């Protein structure tokens, strides 16, 4: 990603670029008046030779264009290889702030030449060396004039912030100028979580490194899921950078990312005359996706409160009227001019005005500002289609004490109160208790069926769905007692849990373990190499054979078997306890399979599995 970028959404047409001296006059005058060697290079011509290619940033669930990142092009005409070299030279010449300001002005001019430019944000990447400096771009702007500018300053992690700079104070100065804040290239730069903590950004852009191949990399999925949950709890929105495949798109969306950009959606375009505000490729992907969390959407739709929002440019007297209404809530959701949530205003925070001697007059005093910006607090944000488990896991009762703002297609939809969130937690716990084996505490049949259905609806990855059970368990149970039978079941379940946790992560796969009942178990693995999964599955069965020897006395172990009655009442010899399994392999790209087809494949090959040398029989479908 270049050091100088912008974003823009909803654009239709563009005007020809105006004369650079007219567009950036003050900046060019500062460059031309520089002394010494700094003035010997024609910085105005270098910056003027650059142009922008726009790439969309799109809402993952609606296809709505949230903005465009404008990537600098034309460095071959400047003598520099890229933006980094240009800015390094400007810094060496003592002109970094001036050149960055001129580039920002050029970006703004291109942005505002587009029809509908104010329908989305304009992201400007700010060189980290300028953070905390008094000559940084945008600090001298009038906040009132900048409030609706749509500007978001990206703090790139490609360079370190100068030592001794208080990032939180520097960022506050940018906010006071009317700008929003984003962290760019998150995860591969210098500051990482510290910058996230200090900058309190509105957006975090996850670097392409973590997005590339995320569908097949369990560690990347775990990191992105954790970041998305943490960010949303703080009211921060997530942009996945460099989405290039359908499976990356679905994975980022399902992990909770809000926006995406990348070649899958659109490549950067130099022609800015016909930029759409919606992207059919995203709409088509969501429409075709069989994994739509419709149950989550339905349940959240039922429990959220459709509190009427207030626009941030509403007068403060309207806020007082809002809380005076009969039966009104203790919070007011605040949105921008495009219905995107900005946060909440709490009624209790107004008490210092309402109950003070001149508080009401202060709120009504236009000279102190008649917008609501200074009263808004950041709140957790969650999409209405997010799976309920992810909603519950992502938001603690503390972070959601005032409620969670629910969005649909990026626009405000309602508020999930802390009480409603607790009801969802109770419902989930109750559902888990009723669908959990009381002995092993593993998920039961309903959860297993949901897993199978989810795997069949995910053709982007390969899956292994394995049915596992004990050989000759009834004679063992009858001969050695139910207590030993329970020991065997618990012994195998612990092996299965460990396998799903450690082995799944080791082969970059998602693993799910379930207990059908009795001595029947289920293991589902999504992703990972087929050969590695099957080899580890055979190893699991072999380990249980070894574990099960501890259930017998020394004499029985030496003899390798025991005498017991079979199902017909005849006494015969049975081997030591073992487990066998049928593994149904579903390669990537498979369509049209059903849970019934999986069950039939398992039933048809259970006998063959018990007779296999390694106790595993593999069936390939799809």
Domain boundaries, the chain: 5-292, 299-428, 437-620
Domain at 5-292: CATH architecture: Alpha-Beta Barrel (3.20)
Confidence of residue 6 (pLDDT cuts 50, 70, 90): very low
**Any bridge partners for residue 522, and if so which?**
467, 514
State how far the Cα of 342 lies from the Cα of 124, in Å rounded to an integer: 20
Fold for the domain defined by 437-620: Alpha-Beta Plaits (3.30.70)
pLDDT mean over 202-207: 92
161 within 8 A of 130, measured Cβ to Cβ? no
Task: Write the DSSP assignment of 290-351 as a string of letters.
Answer: TT--HHHHHHHHHHSB-PPPEETTS-HHHHHHHHHSTT--SEEEEE-TTS-EEEEEEGGGGH
Q: What's the token pair of residue 453?
A: 């259905």
pLDDT for residue 152 is more than 90:
no
Confidence of residue 562 (pLDDT cuts 50, 70, 90): very high
Confidence of residue 501 (pLDDT cuts 50, 70, 90): confident
541 within 8 A of 469, measured Cβ to Cβ? no
Confidence of residue 590 (pLDDT cuts 50, 70, 90): confident
pLDDT for residue 206 is more than 90:
yes
Of residues 275 and 447, more confidence is placed in: 447
Least confident piece of the model among 4-18, 22-36, 394-408: 4-18
State how far the Cα of 74 lies from the Cα of 77, in Å rounded to an integer: 6
Cα angle, residue 447 at apex, residues 441 and 450 outer, rounded to 5°:
165
203 within 8 A of 180, measured Cβ to Cβ? yes
> Residue 140: its pLDDT value, please?
59
Most confident range, picked from 63-72, 131-140, 443-452: 443-452
Residues 503-534 have pLDDT tens digits of: 666 677 889 999 999 999 999 999 888 899 99
> Residue 162: its pLDDT value, please?
84
Tell me the C-alpha to C-alpha distance, in Å, between residue 538 and each of 179, 533, 591, 605: 58, 9, 27, 16
Give the DSSP H or E segment for 83. helix 83-92
pLDDT for residue 394 is more than 50:
yes
Look over the chain and give the mean of its residue pLDDT values, rounded to a whole number.
82
205 within 8 A of 183, measured Cβ to Cβ? yes
Domain 299-428 in CATH 3.10.20.30? The answer is no
Collapsing DSSP to helix, strand or coil, 274 comes out as coil
> Which of 282, 250, 601 lies closest to 458, judged by CA?
250
- The one-character DSSP state at 121 is B
Least confident piece of the model among 143-147, 336-340, 346-350, 544-548: 143-147
- The one-character DSSP state at 127 is P
Q: How many CA atoms lie within 13 A of 483 on its CB side?
A: 1
- The one-character DSSP state at 14 is B
Residues 20-52 have pLDDT tens digits of: 333 344 444 444 444 445 447 889 899 989 988
Helix H, strand E, coil C: the string for 43-64 is HHHHHHCCEEEEEEEEECCCCE
For 125, phi then psi, to 5°, come to -75, 125
Residues 291-341 have pLDDT tens digits of: 555 567 788 888 999 999 999 888 887 888 888 775 667 899 999 877 888
**516 phi-psi bin (left φ>0, alpha ψ -120 to 50, beta other):** alpha
Of residues 388 and 3, more confidence is placed in: 388
Cα angle, residue 262 at apex, residues 335 and 65 outer, rounded to 5°:
30
> Residue 235: its pLDDT value, please?
83
**Any bridge partners for residue 527, and if so which?**
509
> Residue 191: its pLDDT value, please?
58
State how far the Cα of 137 lies from the Cα of 173, in Å rounded to an integer: 11
Q: What's the token pair of residue 414?
A: 């309602």
pLDDT for residue 379 is more than 80:
yes
> Residue 15: its pLDDT value, please?
34
State how far the Cα of 564 lies from the Cα of 607, in Å rounded to an integer: 21
pLDDT for residue 418 is more than 90:
no
Domains 5-292 and 299-428 share a fold: no
Confidence of residue 362 (pLDDT cuts 50, 70, 90): low
Confidence of residue 397 (pLDDT cuts 50, 70, 90): low
Give the DSSP H or E segment for 373. none
Confidence of residue 224 (pLDDT cuts 50, 70, 90): very high
pLDDT for residue 537 is more than 50:
yes
């Amino acid at each position: 990603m270049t050091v100088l970028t912008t974003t823009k959404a909803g654009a239709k047409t563009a005007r020809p670029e105006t004369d650079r001296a007219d567009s950036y006059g003050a900046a060019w005058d500062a460059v031309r008046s520089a002394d010494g060697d700094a003035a010997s290079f024609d910085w105005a011509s270098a910056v003027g030779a650059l142009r922008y290619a726009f790439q969309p940033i799109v809402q993952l669930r609606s296809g709505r264009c949230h903005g465009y990142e404008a990537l600098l092009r034309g460095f071959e005409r400047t003598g520099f290889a890229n933006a980094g070299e240009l800015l390094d030279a400007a810094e060496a010449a003592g002109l970094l702030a001036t050149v960055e300001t001129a580039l920002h002005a050029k970006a703004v001019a291109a942005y505002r030449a587009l029809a509908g430019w104010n329908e989305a944000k304009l992201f400007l990447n700010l060189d980290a060396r300028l953070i905390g400096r008094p000559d940084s771009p945008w600090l001298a702007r009038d906040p009132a004039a900048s409030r609706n500018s749509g500007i978001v300053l990206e703090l790139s992690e490609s360079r370190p912030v100068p030592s001794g700079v208080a990032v939180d104070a520097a960022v506050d100065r940018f906010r006071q100028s009317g700008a929003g804040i984003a962290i760019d290239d998150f995860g591969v730069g210098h500051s990482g979580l510290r910058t996230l903590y200090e900058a309190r950004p509105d957006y975090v852009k996850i670097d392409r490194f973590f997005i590339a191949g995320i569908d097949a990399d369990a560690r990347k999925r775990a990191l992105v899921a954790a970041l998305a949950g943490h960010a949303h709890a703080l009211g921060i929105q997530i942009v996945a950078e460099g989405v290039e495949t359908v499976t990356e798109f679905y994975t980022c969306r399902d992990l909770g990312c809000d926006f995406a950009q990348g070649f899958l959606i659109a490549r950067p375009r130099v022609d800015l005359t016909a930029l759409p505000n919606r992207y059919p490729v995203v709409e088509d992907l969501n429409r075709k996706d069989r994994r739509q969390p419709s149950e989550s959407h339905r349940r959240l739709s039922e429990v959220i409160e459709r509190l009427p929002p207030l626009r941030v440019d509403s007068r403060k007297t309207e806020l007082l009227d809002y809380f005076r209404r009969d039966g009104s809530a203790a919070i007011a959701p605040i949105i921008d001019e495009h219905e995107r949530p900005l946060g909440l205003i709490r009624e209790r925070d107004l008490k210092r005005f309402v109950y003070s001697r001149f508080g009401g007059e202060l709120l009504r005093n236009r000279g102190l500002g008649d917008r609501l910006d200074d009263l808004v607090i950041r709140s957790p944000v969650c999409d209405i289609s997010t799976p309920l488990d992810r909603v519950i896991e992502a938001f603690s009762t503390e972070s959601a004490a005032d409620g969670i703002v629910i969005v649909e297609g990026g626009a405000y939809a309602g508020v999930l109160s802390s009480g409603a969130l607790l009801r969802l937690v109770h419902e989930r716990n109750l559902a888990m208790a009723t669908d959990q084996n009381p002995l092993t505490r593993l998920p039961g049949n309903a959860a297993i069926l949901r897993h199978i259905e989810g795997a069949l609806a995910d053709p982007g990855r390969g899956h292994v769905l394995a049915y596992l059970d004990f050989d000759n368990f009834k004679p063992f149970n009858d001969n050695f007692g139910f207590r030993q039978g329970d020991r065997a079941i618990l012994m195998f379940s612990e092996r299965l849990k460990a396998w799903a946790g450690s082995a799944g992560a080791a082969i970059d796969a998602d693993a799910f373990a379930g207990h059908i009942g009795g001595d029947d178990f289920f293991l589902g693995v999504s992703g990972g190499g087929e050969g590695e999964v099957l080899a580890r599955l055979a190893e699991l069965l072999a380990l249980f054979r070894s574990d099960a020897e501890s259930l017998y006395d020394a004499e029985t172990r030496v003899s390798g078997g025991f005498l017991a009655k079979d199902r017909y009442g005849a006494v015969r010899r049975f081997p030591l306890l073992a487990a066998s399994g049928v593994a149904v392999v579903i390669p990537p790209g498979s369509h049209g399979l059903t849970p019934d087809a999986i069950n039939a494949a398992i039933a048809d090959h259970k006998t063959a599995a018990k007779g296999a040398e390694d106790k595993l029989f593999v069936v390939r479908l799809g």
